[in-house]
Structure 1
Amino acid sequence: MFEDVGKMGRYLGQAMRLMVGLPDYDTYVSHMRANHPGQPMMSYEDFFRERQEARYGGKGGSGRCC
């Protein structure tokens, strides 16, 4: 029973982070280890910066109309 509560808490936490736009670095690391084991992984800071730029349009483009 406690495993289910813990799992539900992790999913809820992930959902909340995604709703407010915070990237999930742990999911990225798990994905990279499982699917791309030979490729280098970004640090948390690089990952966060890349996600912010992708969301808000960094590096030369605003990504927004206003």
Structure 2
Amino acid sequence: MFSDLASKAGRYLGQSMRLMVGLPDYAQYVEHCEQTHPDRPVMTYEEFFKERLEARYGSGKRSACC
């Protein structure tokens, strides 16, 4: 019982720390896809990481003039 609680707490703490520094959680993404979108293909880790970077920072091309 205590080890299960400690395991969950560690998992949540790790996830929180990754989110604080901007690292997406690939394992959570895979779990979500398998549960809610079983008909869609799951991105590889590299595809997922690139997509998250683009979503956060854009493609590097600015549309503004300055």
Q: Give TM-score, length-normalised by structure 1.
A: 0.88
* Percent identity of paired positions between Structure 1 and Structure 2: 59
Tell me by how many angstroms 1:60 deviates. 3.8
Q: 1:35 corresponds to which residue?
A: 36
Per-residue CA distance 1:15-56 (angstroms, 9 max, x = gap) = 000000000000000000000001001000000000000001
- Give the total of aligned pairs: 63
Where do 1:13-52 residues align within 5 Å?
Answer: 13-52=14-53
Alpha-carbon distance in 2 for matches of 1:26, 1:59: 27
The ranges of structure 1 where at least 4 consecutive aligned residues each deviate by more than 4 angstroms after the TM superposition are none
* SS of corresponding position for 2:22: coil
RMSD of equivalent CA atoms = 1.7
Q: Secondary structure at the match of 2:40?
A: coil
Shift of 1:59: 6.1
Aligned equivalents of 1:59 and 1:19: distance in 2? 22
- Residue 58 of structure 1: CA displacement? 1.3
Bigger CA radius of gyration: 2
Unaligned runs of 5+ in 2: none
Equivalent residue number for residue 53 of structure 1: 54
